[in-house]
Every structure is written in C-alpha cells, then in structure tokens.
Amino acid sequence: MKTRTNERLFTQANKVIPGGVNSPVRAFKSVGAKPIFIEKAKGVMLQDADGNRYIDYCLSWGPMILGHANKAVLDEVKKTMAKGTSYGIPTALETTLAEMIVAAVVSIDKVRLVSSGTEAVMTAIRLARGATGRDKVVKFAGCYHGHVDHMLVQAGSGLTTLGAPSSPGVPKDFAKHTLLAPYNDLEAVKKLFDRHGDCIAAVIIEPVAGNMGVVCAKKSFLKGLRTLCNKNKSLLIFDEVISGFRVAWGGVQKLLGVKADITTLGKIIGGGFPIGAIGGKASIMRRLSPEGAVYQAGTLSGNPVCVAAGIATLKQLKTTNPYPRLEAMTIGLCTQISEILNAKGIEHTINQIGSMFTLFFNPHPVTDYDTATKSDTKKYASYFRQMLNAGIYLPPSQFEANFLSTAHTEGHVRRTVAAVRQVEL
Ligand code: KE4
C-alpha cells in the first residue's frame, strides 16, 4: 500500500489543524496507523491520495446508506445549488423533509432542523428541561450523543452515579445534573428515579447504541424506561442520529414499538450533508422558539442544499425499501467472518442489527459499556491495519459501527471475506 502522499498530507495538515484532523477518531490513533486522505469516492469505493482503493464499511460514520456520489442525490443537489445555496429564509424544501420525517417516525408530530447531531441533542435536552422545569438528565455509559458539554460525562468516582466531566473544559457544575447508568440495566435506572425522580427532566439513550460498538437495548429495557418516564413525568429521548432510517424506515421505534417523547436524527437524513433534527409530539415541540420560549436557532438550519440531499436520500429509501436486502447481506457477511475467525481459533463476538454491526475481539457477549471495553483493542487495531492493506476500510476504532449501503454487492462481500481469511492475529 503506497502511503507517501497520505503521509505528506498528514504532516501538512498537522501544521494548521489540531491533530491534523477535524474530528478526533479520523486520526487513526486507536488503531496505531496514520490516517489516509480521501481524494474521491463512488458507490462503496474510496480512493485515497496515493491512489489506494478501499471498500468502505464506515460510510462517513453512517450517512452514506446509498453509497458515495449517488447520482440521484447529486442531481438534486446540483439542481438546488444552481438556484442559490443559503438564504436564512424559509424554503418549501424544509417543509417537505419535515413532512417525510413526520410520516416516517411514529412519535414525531413536528420537526426542527439543525446542522449536526450534537446540535440536535443539545436542543432536545434544553427542550426537555424547558418542558418539565427540571434539570437532571439520565444517560448511559457507552452512549455518545455528540460533544455537548453535559453529555461529555462519565461515571463519577466509585459507584456514584453522579456524572463527572470526561473532558477538560467541562466544568463540574455542567456535569452535576447528568446521572449515569449502565446500558440495559433497568434496576440502576429505577434507583436513580427513586432518588431523583421529581428532578429528572429526561432519559436519553441510543436505542441501538453505535458508539461503544453496536449494542442493542433489550426491548424490555426500553419498555421499562418508557414506564419509568411515564410514572415520573420525565421525557424519554431516543438519540436515533445513527439508527434513524438506518435500522428501518422510521428507526428503532418502528422496529420495537416503543415510542420516544423526543427523537434526535442526523446523518442519513442529510444524505452526506451537515444536518440534524429534533422531533417530537406537538405538545412538546410547540415549546420551541418562536412558538414557545425554549430558545434555539441556527444560521444554516434547514439549509436548502443539505435538505435537498436528505429528501433525495429518503425518497430512494422509501421507494426501493432496501432494508431486507441490506440486512440479509449484512447477516451473510457477519456469518462468514465469524466462521473464518472460529476456524482460526480467534475469540470474538459480533453484534448486528439491520445493516450495522461490530466485530468485537471479545469471547463474551457484549451488552453494555463494561463488557464492550473488555474487548482486545490491540487485536482490533491489527485487524484494522491488515484489512486496510487488503483494500477494506473499516471504522478506525473497536468501539464504532460498520455499515453496509445499497451500493454494496455480494462481490464486495466476497472480497471482504477473502481479506478476513488472510488476516493473522
Ligand atoms: P454530530 O455532531 O457528529 O453530527 O453527531 C453527534 C452524534 C449524536 N448522536 C449519536 C448517536 C452519534 O453517533 C453522533 C456522532 N457519531 C460519531 C460516530 N459514532 C461521529 C463521528 C465523529 O465524531 O467523527
């Protein structure tokens, strides 16, 4: 694998960009490699600055469910851009995307569009606090909800469930209203409600976690959260920035039949352009400015170019319904990977739902952050590097999700399986 140009570009980037990247995970630190710089992509194929080509299973961390440079999406974007790119004034396109989301997600009556998943989560929590008049928020270890200050929180020292900042720059005061519980542990959440019930504004969860690697919430757990929130008049926030329109048309709520009060979306609904969304019942959403008093704003919120890409993406998903094929292809890939690793005597477990999965180098089931972090990250790093050399681009971290797109074919799966067969760990 040639790396000269990639290395030159990384050296140059480091001079003017912190760590040479605009988002930390792209630096490949956890996989002991230097990052590649992408020159172009089409379908499933990435091409880096040295001309190396890769089958992409990271898909820009989820958005590219139709593959890269999808013609119908690009045509819509070009058409929209030709008429202007940003007005800061309403466009009918925003209403169209909002109507598609309302029609798809059972719990959403109204939608506010923003420019990132982080912004969507920040708004959702402020809205929940404004709607309930309460301050505390419950989150789960291993769930990532963007770099919102009060979400950059880990379990406090000892067994305390009070949050402690997980990043410098987040004041302790910002973390003190964040309560932590283990994922899939309803008893722990019940204890939090017993102690803080009437101060808890919301519980926020990735109903399918993608940020500790893929970990699915048990249906009974989600139903239990729903019951606890109803009983305590707290709001249930589903962060479906990854899972929305990924695991099903309408997200996890459609799959499992558990309704959120507020849902955050992103990634796929922007078709590869900057976007985020907050959706919920009209009685809650009407509290958002200018209808209500909970303030939220954004220069490029609902940007027509981003929205056009999202509409074109959702239209293709709605008309083609690729979900059964995507799931079948993903199951086929995971089954073959597992057979090969078993034959090699390599301990592992794979969590898969729909067209997302994570291969953990871990002999035990991975059901929460504690079990996920017992995975062999050194082994994952070696696996990542060997697969990259073989022309397969995986997420550069053990604790991320792999994704398939409608551009993946059985031929790509065969090439991927052949690369796994050559791996030595
Ligand atoms: P953004 O602000 O990155 O658009 O979205 C934040 C976010 C919110 N909620 C969930 C469930 C998310 O997964 C994310 C962002 N996902 C990560 C990858 N797992 C983005 C990749 C990165 O940080 O570079």
Reported as a single tens digit per residue, the pLDDT across 301-343 is: 999 999 999 999 999 999 999 999 999 999 999 999 999 999 9
Tell me the pLDDT band of 158, cut-offs 50, 70 and 90.
very low
Pairing of the two strands 392-393 and 53-56: parallel
The answer, yes or no, to whether any atom of ligand 1 lies below 6 A from the CB of 142, is no
C-alpha 156/C-alpha 192 separation (Å) is: 14
- Per-residue tokens: 244: 């929305």
How far apart CA 82 and CA 227 sit, in angstroms, is: 50
Q: Whose CA is nearest to atom 24 of ligand 1?
A: 23
Sequence letter at residue 108: I
Report helix, strand and coil shares of the chain as percent, to nearest 5: 45, 20, 40
The reply to whether 71-320 shares the fold of 4-65+322-422 is no
Res 159 pLDDT > 60 = no
Q: What is the separation of C-alpha 126 from the centre of its chain, rounded to a whole number of angstroms?
A: 20
- C-alpha span between 374 and 363 (Å, rounded): 9
Q: Give the residue, out of 28, 115, 145, 245, with the most ligand 1 atoms within 8 A of its beta carbon, to mutate for a pocket test.
A: 145
CA 248 to mean position of chain CA atoms: 14
Residue pLDDT, tens place only, 173-186: 999 999 999 999 99
Most ligand 1 atoms within 8 A of CB, residue of 115, 149, 211 to mutate: 211
**Second-level CATH architecture of 4-65+322-422:** Alpha-Beta Complex (3.90)
Question: Could you tell me if the CB of 242 is within 6 A of ligand 1?
Answer: yes
Residues above pLDDT 90, as percent of the chain: 96
Domain 71-320 class in CATH = alpha beta
- For residue 262, what pLDDT is reported? 98
Q: State if residue 266 touches ligand 1 by the CB under 6 angstroms criterion.
A: yes
Measuring from atom 19 of ligand 1, which residue has the nearest CA? Answer: 211
User: What is the rounded average pLDDT of the residues 112-141?
Assistant: 98
Q: Please give the distance of CA 236 from its chain centroid, rounded to a whole number.
A: 18
pLDDT band at 164 (very low <50, low <70, confident <90, very high): confident
Which H or E run includes 389? helix 377-389
pLDDT tens, position by position, 365-408? 999 999 999 999 999 999 999 999 999 999 999 999 999 999 99
Unique residue bearing structure tokens 């078993």: 342
Q: How far is CA 412 from CA 31, 45, 50, 391, 406, in A?
A: 23, 10, 21, 11, 12
Ligand 1 atom index nearest CA of 206:
11
Contact 281, 107 (CB under 8 A): yes
According to DSSP, residue 270 is labeled G
42: left (phi over 0), alpha (psi -120 to 50) or beta: beta
Residue 358 near ligand 1, beta carbon < 6 Å? no
3-state secondary structure of 248: strand
Interhelix angle 377-389/410-422, rounded to 10 degrees, is 120
Separation of alpha carbons 4 and 7, rounded Å: 5
Question: Is 396 touching ligand 1 by the criterion CB < 6 Å?
Answer: no
Substitution candidate for ligand 1 out of 21, 23, 61, 237 with most atoms within 8 A of CB: 61
Atom of ligand 1 nearest to the CA of 61: 18
Instruction: Give the C-alpha separation, 129 to 118, whole Å.
Output: 17
403: left (phi over 0), alpha (psi -120 to 50) or beta: beta
Residue 401 CA: which ligand 1 atom is closest?
19
Centre a 10 Å sphere on the Cβ of residue 314 and count the other Cβ atoms it contains: 22
Domains of the chain, by residue range, sit at 4-65+322-422, 71-320
Q: 115 CB under 6 A from ligand 1?
A: no
pLDDT score, position 163? 77
Residue whose CA is at the smallest distance from ligand 1 atom 23: 23
Query: How far is Cα 335 from Cα 416, in angstroms, rounded to an integer?
Result: 12
Tens-place pLDDT, residues 70-123: 999 999 999 999 999 999 999 999 999 999 999 999 999 999 999 999 999 999
Q: Is 270 in the pocket of ligand 1 (CB under 6 A)?
A: no
Return d(Cα 276, Cα 97) in angstroms, integer: 12
**Within 13 A of 339's CA, how many CA atoms are on the CB side?**
8
N- to C-terminal Cα separation, the chain: 20
Which atom of ligand 1 approaches the CA of 117 most closely?
Answer: 5
Tell me the catalytic residues: 144, 239, 267
